[in-house]
A and B are shown apart, each in its own frame.
Chain A
Amino acid sequence: NAHGPKPIGPSPPLGLRDCDSSEGEEAAEVAMDYINTHHKHGYKYALNRIEELRVLPRRPASEVVILELDLLETKCHVLNPLPLENCTVRELINHAIEADCDVKLLKEDGKLSVTGARCHSSPDSAEDIIKICPDCPLLIPLNDTQVVKTVELLLDQYHSTNDAYFMLIEIARAQMQAPNTIIAEFAISATNCSSKDASENVKACQALSGDQAQFGFCVGSVMHVPKEEIHVECEVYAPQSEVAHPVLAKDN
């Protein structure tokens, strides 16, 4: 427009908005709820920072919101019924996992819904942790034979003091504390067996499902030298229906 006001200075890239704006906060909250609901393994994530926010008009009267998020791992396993607000973010020295997510949302009639999300997670740098805490335990692969054996020992130990038999759902974390201790965290599911039933025929034991489904989460450690020392503590959550756990309903 040769006659109208002339904009001067660099023009901002299309659709970019302030990351800490109310629309960014609102979209991030919807995105976090979606990510944690659809996250099937490991721990719930907490928002650390909105890296980028873009809002683009979409015909006839809606908007597309594109978010780039930086997330941190919490100590709540995905099966833990605690709301995210009550979950503690894992400290850096505990060798946590971080995630970067790109989320696309649609805003129609003022209501936001997620249309797609892609996340990439990775452990924090072991070198950085060693720099600030040389003796802190570092993550080791979940399929390491020592880890698998450790979890078997821990679950056996738990069953030795409990009548109900629980089966392993997944190993969620494993750390090596130099020189000879393995720390493991794992999720468990209640079954239709007692510990005695399981000792006779473990193959007949089935995880309880539907309204009967009951999950738990254990943290334990095994020190091998000088003598084997086993410590395990499990928290069993109140029975929950699959409706309350869309993750399980989708990917049982």
Chain B
Amino acid sequence: LVVKRTVSEPTAEHPGDVLHPPPPQCPGRIRHFHI
């Protein structure tokens, strides 16, 4: 069985490697309406 790994999502290659935190969610929520 061949499993294709996506290249867009980084994965830890070595034990102990840490992922950067996800990018911040911006812009934020719309409070009234979209212009």
- A172 proximal to B (CB < 8 A): no
A46 to B31, Cβ gap below 8 A? yes
B26: which A residues are within 8 A, CB to CB?
16, 18-19, 50-53
B24 to A18, Cβ gap below 8 A? yes
B30: which A residues are within 8 A, CB to CB?
48-49
Write the nearest CB–CB distance from B26 to chain A, whole angstroms: 4
CA A92 to CA B19, docked complex, whole Å: 43
B10: which A residues are within 8 A, CB to CB?
8-10
Contact surface of B with A, Cβ cutoff 8 Å: 10-14, 16-33, 35
Write the nearest CB–CB distance from A193 to chain B, whole angstroms: 41
Selected from B21, B27, B33, the residue in CB contact (under 8 A) with A50 is B27
Selected from B18, B23, B29, B32, the residue in CB contact (under 8 A) with A72 is B32
B17: which A residues are within 8 A, CB to CB?
5-8
CA A63 to CA B10, docked complex, whole Å: 31
A-B pair count, CB < 8 Å, reads 84
B22: which A residues are within 8 A, CB to CB?
12
Residue on A nearest B33 in the bound complex, by CB: A92
Write the nearest CB–CB distance from B27 to chain A, whole angstroms: 5
Interface size class of A (residues with CB under 8 A): 20 to 34
Residue on A nearest B20 in the bound complex, by CB: A9
A53: which B residues are within 8 A, CB to CB?
24, 26, 28
Selected from A7, A48, A52, the residue in CB contact (under 8 A) with B18 is A7
CA A20 to CA B24, docked complex, whole Å: 9
A24: which B residues are within 8 A, CB to CB?
28
Evaluate whether A49 and B23 lie within 8 angstroms (CB atoms) in the complex, with A5-B18, A7-B18, A8-B18 already known: no
A48: which B residues are within 8 A, CB to CB?
30-33, 35
Write the nearest CB–CB distance from B28 to chain A, whole angstroms: 3
Which residues of chain A in 38-55 are interfacial with respect to chain B, using CB atoms and an 8 Å cutoff? Answer: 46-53
Selected from B21, B28, B29, B32, the residue in CB contact (under 8 A) with A12 is B21
Evaluate whether A8 and B27 lie within 8 angstroms (CB atoms) in the complex, with A46-B32, A48-B32 already known: no
Write the nearest CB–CB distance from A245 to chain B, whole angstroms: 26
Write the nearest CB–CB distance from B21 to chain A, whole angstroms: 7
Please name the 8 residue pairs, one residue from A and one from B, whose CB atoms are nearest each other, closest first.
A19-B28, A9-B10, A50-B28, A19-B26, A20-B28, A51-B27, A9-B20, A16-B24
